[in-house]
Amino acid sequence: MNESVDTLQSLIISAHRLTRIAAQHTGNGTSPAVWRTLSILINDGPMRIGELAAASRVAQPTMTKIVQNLAAEDLIRRIADVDDARAWLIAITPKGQNALNTWLQQVAESAAPLFSDLTADDWAAMRAVASILERHISVSEVAA
């Protein structure tokens, strides 16, 4: 492997590990698939259940169950698909947005102690990496 690939691999592994550890420390027992689903809907907008299942990397029957549970909690809603009257789109509700934002805040607060010794330069580097990731992920999503 080359150095760029090694760096990306390390970054991906560390990000997954950080998210897992911080999420566990929140004490919130909600399935990661729920948060991933809500996040996809915020980032990508309403979509059909099959598309949502593919984006979340779960089987369609699993996504159907997730959507049923989220709808029962008023975290998502079904809206008519203007392109196909037989189909429905799944959209996040304001309550779903608030729930996701609250969970993300809890995860960030749970992770904060791990970084309490960072210097101002370290934080500047973290902000730079976050900006680079955001910029490149947005570009790749548009191209995909």
pLDDT band for position 1 (cuts 50, 70, 90): low
**Contact (CB, 8 A) for 41 and 90:** yes
Q: Which CATH number fits domain 6-143: 3.20.20.60, 3.90.550.40, 1.10.10.10, 3.40.50.1820?
A: 1.10.10.10
pLDDT for the residue 83: 85
Distances (CA, A) of 108 to 18, 26, 71, 142: 10, 9, 26, 27
| Mean per-residue pLDDT of the chain | 91
The crossing angle, in degrees rounded to 10, of helices 32-44 and 60-72 is 80
- According to DSSP, residue 91 is labeled E
Dist. CA 40–CA 42, nearest whole Å? 5
* Average confidence (pLDDT) over 59-82: 96
pLDDT at 57 exceeding the cut of 60: yes
* Average confidence (pLDDT) over 8-32: 91
* Average confidence (pLDDT) over 35-40: 95
pLDDT at 124 exceeding the cut of 70: yes
Residue 112 in 3-state DSSP?
helix
Q: Kindly give, in sequence order, each residue whose CB lies less than 8 Å from that of residue 43, ignoring residues fewer than 6 positions away.
A: 141
Model pTM score: 0.84
**Contact (CB, 8 A) for 41 and 76:** yes
